[in-house]
Amino acid sequence: MLILKTSKKVENTDEDTIVKMLQDGPLSIAINADTLQFYSGGIIDDDESSCDPQGLNHGVVLVGYTEDAWIIRNSWGPSWGEKGYFRFKRGQNTCGVRNYITTAILA
Question: What is the domain range of residue 42?
Answer: 4-106
Between CA 15 and CA 55 the distance in angstroms is 20
Q: Could you read off the pLDDT tens digit of each residue along the chain, which spans 107 residues?
A: 767 677 788 877 899 999 999 998 899 999 999 888 889 999 998 776 678 888 999 999 999 999 999 999 999 999 999 999 999 999 989 999 999 999 887 76
Domain count, the chain: 1
Q: What is the CATH number of the domain that holds 71?
A: 3.90.70.10
pLDDT on residue 8:
81
- 25, 2 contact by CB (below 8 A): no
* Cα separation of the two ends of the chain: 9
Distance of CA 59 to the CA centre of its chain: 8
